[in-house]
A and B are shown apart, each in its own frame.
Chain A
Amino acid sequence: MTNHFNYLRATDFDRAWLNFELDLPLEAGTNGKPNPFYITRPGDPIAELIDGLLSPFYKPPKFFFSGHRGCGKSTELLHLMANPQIQKKFWPVVFSIRDEADIIDLDFRDVLLAMGGRMFLEFRKQGGVLPSKLMKDLESWRGRVEEEVTTVKEGKYSNMEVGAGLEAFFANASLKMRMEPKTRRQIRQVIDKNVTGLIDVINSIAGAVQARDGRIPLILIDDLDKPGLKEAKSIFQERREIMLQPNCAIVYTVSSALFYSKEFDAIRDQAMFLPNVMLHPHRLPEQYVKEGYETMKLFVSKRMESRLIEPQALLLAITYSGGVFREMARIMRTAIGRARRRNADQVDKTDVEWAATEIRNEYRRILEKEDIAVLRNFFKNNHMQSSERIRPLLQLLALLEYKNGENWFDVHPVLKAVLND
């Protein structure tokens, strides 16, 4: 359905409501043109990742891409994929791990299988034909898996033409990995017996793609930041060597919790963090960062005509957003809904306050007294403190992180009223 979305600037509240959809994917336009709603962030942090990918390399690079929830990682991945220079050098495949595996129970084997499957299916979709020797090897590998995991086979494609059987196998395996815990375990056990066999499969497909297309496969995996820290550590720390083995460029999304874990230091030079947009300087909440406000204003003005919101209301909405795009969209959407109900011509400050109150009440229900105490401390000194409560607060966006020189933290602006309760 996202293919049918028209990225048109809204001239009325109905369309504006639509344009502030929270999870609207910003697919790139034709010929590598950026999406009409896309905005370049202050400092263009994604340029660092693009530079890293475009630099000469001996072995295809692996990058770890992180950022807090709602800061626009998926948007940036789609934008990066459409970058003409990236397109020229790489054969990009972007997918969400949610479509391939169960993020509640995710394992490194699931990720590897997903990479191999998606690359193969994408190659076939584009009319690619793998060399017969490679096809035989792949069929043989498939046969070994099916021998032990009969549920993947389902008996329908054993007589299919070579290649079509593999397509069905990967599609079916992905479905089963996502939906059937029992089959998932069986497949993992089979892969366990010969992990290098699966890496070989991935590398063979990558090699064949490169040989035919001339470009290096680049796999961008979104939503890998969604599994819990334990699962993330088991994939990216305990199995890091394996995850770096595939012979193609890869951008793994990783959670901020993993990004900031001590064990991640070893690969920090391959990692980049997408920061929230800073709206005020560190420890100076009464001041504002013009560049940040302008960025957020641009975010709004690309989606709706400026006359639909009072300037002061817009500033207030930006302040309440904390520089998090998804929160900005949430506030705008709710405020627009109220203005629409009022039959008003413009969103005013009361509409924005209304939206902020609704969000504040949501947090009131889910935060405990101890959480409020932690937030109060952060509000006072903005510094990182050691508390096991911090991670969930960051995940819930009750606490926001900013970067300018050193990292610092602030409370979600709508919550500041709660701190005085």
Chain B
Amino acid sequence: MTKTACICFDPESLETKVTTIAEEIAMAYRWSRPSIVFAIYTSAAIRKTAQKQLASELIRNKMDQVMYQVEYDATGEFVSLLSRVKDGNAVISIDPINSNTPVSQISKLIDILDSNKRSIIENGIRMVVWLTQEESALFAHSAPDLWASRHRVIELEDEASTSGLDATIAQPAISTVVDRFGIAPAKQIDEMGLGQEGYLNFQDVTSDIDGDVQDAIAQAVVAWQNGDSQAVQNALATACKASQASQSKFTKIVCIKAKKFFAHERGAFAEEQELDLKLAEIEKTDPRAFYSKTIISTDNNAPITDLESAMVANPGNIEAAEQLAKGYEMKGLIDQAIAAYKVCVKLATSESDEQRYWSILGKLYTQVNGVDQAIAAFAISSSFNNTDSNQAKVDVSQLNADMWTEIGNVLLRGKDMKQAEAAFQQAIRLDSNNGVAFTNLGVLYSMMGLPTSALENLKKGASLFTDDHKKRTAWNLIGDQYRMIGNYTEAVQSYQTADDVVIEKLAVGKNTLFTNNLFSNFEESRNK
């Protein structure tokens, strides 16, 4: 009997793996046979790169790619898609899935594919299902029969990042940085493809931290994980230098926290103690230290508890109230955050603060789909700009374009297309240069299956953006839309345009927040 000895193979490049997928699909197309390929990705960036490459390969093989999005499948749309593509040259690309997609959507997708397995096989359907590792495990366990019919499973892993950091080292390093110091190293997040999720998770945390400090600390963590103590010290020195030049006390706090951590790690307890004292000194003078505690502490509830106690001891402590509200918001306790910001409104000592709190409340209400409350809160916030003191405070006519955009976003997330469309259009009426509103209106039309209107608005939005990051994302959306309608030449062109947008430095958390391809100007409104 032949014994099975394990042979190790050199890892293949991403390009080779995508070519393998393309070859599998091309062979199946050639013979009019089915092909179910699972592409398992380890980061959003890898997925996107692979998808772009696959799109080009398919074009070369004279095949079309049809996107299917389970979240917009009310009923039977997949079945009708199967009948549309069964005799053609199309490949169904199923990529509704990102880390923001709830488990229910994945389960829905699994059910849809599982119950249509026979139809997929008998009609010679070719499809690529893009999944994360966790989703692939869920898939296999939930639909073992469909899993058994997989033709290929190709794992698309991160290769070394452009900064020279090995992905397997850099990614845990990022997690460490986030866990230990509560910061997000912008550059690495971008490189490692945490992408939108990364920004979403960390944007609030990092908004006040100097980017150079973030990067240097991340480098220190990587060096630490590599066991290179000299490189750790060098990186820390860079961080400290940048932190000294920074005006942000919060940056200084985070930098000291990092130094303290590494001092502890190498057993320099005297230095650690010294840094502790330094930290305490700074925290006394900066109310945001409460906030930093909320983020940095490993005991997630302790700082919140401290702040709650502080509020009980002194209910008029506006600083504690705001930090508490931010803490709740950070932890995703939106209802508590709303309640805390309402306290802030009552305690506010200036109109500008009150206006700011109402604006934040408006945003928070959109997160819990409280459209009416959001409108009311935004209206109140807007009313502070009105010099006519006799005018009623809750007045929808006072909403500005950014607020209408926010309302449009929440309506869109709730699939209230008609109202969302009206909200975006109102935003555009109020500000015809509002790129966000145009772009999100484009996204809405795309979801409604109106590609011409979608492209028109997406292009308008892209043309209005001055922010390179937004511009790049908008062009990627345009590319996505072209792909959805099977115009791959334009799609590739659009992606190329997106790639050509040079981003000098990604300022994480500053003015950039997008969820499921929806832009928001809220951070800008909030900062104004």
Question: Does B114 lie at the interface of the complex (its beta carbon under 8 Å from any beta carbon of A)?
Answer: yes
B151–A70 touching, CB < 8 Å: no
Question: Does B281 lie at the interface of the complex (its beta carbon under 8 Å from any beta carbon of A)?
Answer: no
The A14-32 residues at the B interface (CB cut-off 8 A) are 14, 17-18, 21-23
A365–B123 touching, CB < 8 Å: no
A103–B115 touching, CB < 8 Å: yes
Count chain A CB atoms within 10 A of each CB in B2, B123, B141, B155 and give the residue with the most.
B2
Question: Does A416 lie at the interface of the complex (its beta carbon under 8 Å from any beta carbon of B)?
Answer: yes
B4–A320 touching, CB < 8 Å: yes
B4–A334 touching, CB < 8 Å: no
Question: Does A113 lie at the interface of the complex (its beta carbon under 8 Å from any beta carbon of B)?
Answer: no
B contact residues around A337 at 8 Å (CB):
20, 23-24, 27
The A301-347 residues at the B interface (CB cut-off 8 A) are 312, 315-316, 319-320, 326, 333-334, 337, 341
Question: Does B40 lie at the interface of the complex (its beta carbon under 8 Å from any beta carbon of A)?
Answer: yes
- Of all chain B residues, the one with the shortest Cβ separation from A354 is B9
Known interface pairs A14-B27, A99-B118; A396-B75 also in contact (CB < 8 Å): no
Query: Which of A55-63, A153-161, A210-218, A280-288 participates in binding chain B?
Result: A280-288
A contact residues around B136 at 8 Å (CB):
365-366
A contact residues around B33 at 8 Å (CB):
18, 21
- Of all chain A residues, the one with the shortest Cβ separation from B6 is A417
- Of all chain B residues, the one with the shortest Cβ separation from A314 is B2
- Of all chain A residues, the one with the shortest Cβ separation from B136 is A365
0 or 1 for each of A50-77: is its CB under 8 Å from B? (1 = yes): 0000000000000000000110000000
**Bound-complex Cα distance A104 to B121 (A):** 18
**Bound-complex Cα distance A17 to B20 (A):** 14
The A338-393 residues at the B interface (CB cut-off 8 A) are 341, 350, 353-354, 356-358, 361-362, 365-366, 392
Which of A17, A21, A178, A286 contacts B115, CB < 8 Å? Answer: A178
**Bound-complex Cα distance A280 to B75 (A):** 49
B contact residues around A353 at 8 Å (CB):
6-7, 9
Kindly count the residue-residue contacts between A and B in the assembled complex, taking CB atoms under 8 Å apart: 104
0 or 1 for each of B26-59: is its CB under 8 Å from A? (1 = yes): 0100111110000010000000000000000000
Which of A104, A333, A366 contacts B151, CB < 8 Å? Answer: A333
**Bound-complex Cα distance A70 to B145 (A):** 9
B contact residues around A413 at 8 Å (CB):
4
B76–A361 touching, CB < 8 Å: no
Question: Does B148 lie at the interface of the complex (its beta carbon under 8 Å from any beta carbon of A)?
Answer: yes
Which of A17, A99, A102 contacts B27, CB < 8 Å? Answer: A17
B9–A23 touching, CB < 8 Å: no
A contact residues around B119 at 8 Å (CB):
98
- Of all chain B residues, the one with the shortest Cβ separation from A280 is B1
**Bound-complex Cα distance A236 to B137 (A):** 30
A69–B155 touching, CB < 8 Å: no
0 or 1 for each of B149-175: is its CB under 8 Å from A? (1 = yes): 111110100000000000000000000
Nearest CB of A to B76, in Å = 5
B7–A357 touching, CB < 8 Å: yes
A2–B122 touching, CB < 8 Å: yes
B76–A179 touching, CB < 8 Å: yes
A395–B144 touching, CB < 8 Å: yes
Question: Does B147 lie at the interface of the complex (its beta carbon under 8 Å from any beta carbon of A)?
Answer: yes
- Of all chain B residues, the one with the shortest Cβ separation from A413 is B4
Question: Does A180 lie at the interface of the complex (its beta carbon under 8 Å from any beta carbon of B)?
Answer: yes
Question: Does A231 lie at the interface of the complex (its beta carbon under 8 Å from any beta carbon of B)?
Answer: no
Nearest CB of A to B100, in Å = 21
Question: Does A266 lie at the interface of the complex (its beta carbon under 8 Å from any beta carbon of B)?
Answer: no
Nearest CB of B to A329, in Å = 10
A contact residues around B6 at 8 Å (CB):
353, 357, 417
**Bound-complex Cα distance A119 to B1 (A):** 49
**Bound-complex Cα distance A312 to B5 (A):** 13
0 or 1 for each of B73-94: is its CB under 8 Å from A? (1 = yes): 0011001000000000000000
A179–B79 touching, CB < 8 Å: yes
Question: Does B327 lie at the interface of the complex (its beta carbon under 8 Å from any beta carbon of A)?
Answer: no
Which of B3, B7, B40 contacts A350, CB < 8 Å? Answer: B7
B contact residues around A14 at 8 Å (CB):
27, 30
Which of B2, B24, B75, B118 contacts A179, CB < 8 Å? Answer: B75
B114–A104 touching, CB < 8 Å: yes
The A163-179 residues at the B interface (CB cut-off 8 A) are 178-179
- Of all chain A residues, the one with the shortest Cβ separation from B153 is A362
A contact residues around B144 at 8 Å (CB):
69, 392, 395-396
Question: Does B268 lie at the interface of the complex (its beta carbon under 8 Å from any beta carbon of A)?
Answer: no
Question: Does A397 lie at the interface of the complex (its beta carbon under 8 Å from any beta carbon of B)?
Answer: yes
B4–A319 touching, CB < 8 Å: yes
Question: Does B117 lie at the interface of the complex (its beta carbon under 8 Å from any beta carbon of A)?
Answer: yes
The B119-138 residues at the A interface (CB cut-off 8 A) are 119, 121-124, 133, 136-137
**Bound-complex Cα distance A98 to B118 (A):** 7
Question: Does B277 lie at the interface of the complex (its beta carbon under 8 Å from any beta carbon of A)?
Answer: no
Nearest CB of A to B156, in Å = 12
Question: Does A47 lie at the interface of the complex (its beta carbon under 8 Å from any beta carbon of B)?
Answer: no
**Bound-complex Cα distance A320 to B33 (A):** 25
Nearest CB of B to A394, in Å = 9
Question: Does A96 lie at the interface of the complex (its beta carbon under 8 Å from any beta carbon of B)?
Answer: yes
- Of all chain A residues, the one with the shortest Cβ separation from B40 is A365
A contact residues around B141 at 8 Å (CB):
366, 392, 396
- Of all chain B residues, the one with the shortest Cβ separation from A360 is B6
Question: Does A223 lie at the interface of the complex (its beta carbon under 8 Å from any beta carbon of B)?
Answer: yes
- Of all chain A residues, the one with the shortest Cβ separation from B30 is A14
Question: Does B111 lie at the interface of the complex (its beta carbon under 8 Å from any beta carbon of A)?
Answer: yes
- Of all chain B residues, the one with the shortest Cβ separation from A18 is B31
A361–B23 touching, CB < 8 Å: no
B155–A361 touching, CB < 8 Å: yes
A315–B34 touching, CB < 8 Å: no
B contact residues around A361 at 8 Å (CB):
153, 155
B contact residues around A286 at 8 Å (CB):
1, 3
Which of B2, B9, B140, B147 contacts A315, CB < 8 Å? Answer: B2
A contact residues around B124 at 8 Å (CB):
1
- Of all chain A residues, the one with the shortest Cβ separation from B114 is A104
- Report, nearest first, the 9 A-B pairs whose CB atoms are least far apart: A395-B144, A288-B1, A98-B118, A366-B140, A417-B6, A315-B2, A353-B7, A366-B137, A362-B153
Q: List 21 A-B contacts (CB under 8 A).
A: A1-B124, A4-B32, A14-B30, A21-B34, A23-B149, A69-B145, A98-B119, A104-B115, A178-B115, A226-B145, A287-B1, A315-B1, A341-B23, A353-B6, A353-B9, A357-B7, A365-B40, A396-B140, A396-B147, A413-B4, A417-B6
Beyond the given A23-B34, A226-B145, A288-B1, could you list 8 further A-B residue pairs with CB under 8 A, ordered by the A residue number? A22-B149, A69-B145, A98-B115, A178-B115, A319-B1, A358-B152, A362-B150, A365-B137
Residues of B at the A interface (CB closer than 8 Å) are: 1-4, 6-7, 9, 20, 23-24, 27, 30-34, 40, 75-76, 79, 111, 114-115, 117-119, 121-124, 133, 136-137, 140-141, 144-145, 147-153, 155
